[in-house]
Amino acid sequence: MRGMTRIAGVRLQLWEQMGGEKWAGDRWFRLEKVAEGRRAGSGAGRRWRQEEEDWIQSNAGAKF
């Protein structure tokens, strides 16, 4: 359950950071995949999560 709370917190933080609705779409789908992978306990979840964290780091200062 802690993992899901973290995902929800990340969603809110990213929603605010990236400008709300303009940012919705592909990123949301990717975060859902992270959550699915975590629930399943699969390597796919770790891979999706790492890709998402890499994307966040590389775009931290980007303006959308």
Better-predicted residue by pLDDT, 27 or 58:
58
Answer whether residue 55 shows pLDDT above 70. Answer: yes
- Tokens 């940012």 belong to 23
Q: What is the pLDDT of residue 1?
A: 45
Give residue-wise pLDDT tens across range 1-10: 455 556 666 7
Report the alpha-carbon distance of residue 49 to residue 35 in Å, rounded. 8
Strands (E), the chain: none
Q: pTM (2 decimals)? A: 0.29
Each residue's pLDDT tens digit, 11-54: 666 666 655 555 555 666 667 766 666 665 556 556 767 777 88
Q: How many residues does the chain have?
A: 64
Residue 58 pLDDT > 70:
yes
Domain boundaries, the chain: 2-58
Q: What letter does residue 25 receive in the DSSP assignment?
A: T
User: What is the phi/psi pair of residue 57, to 5°?
Assistant: -65, -40
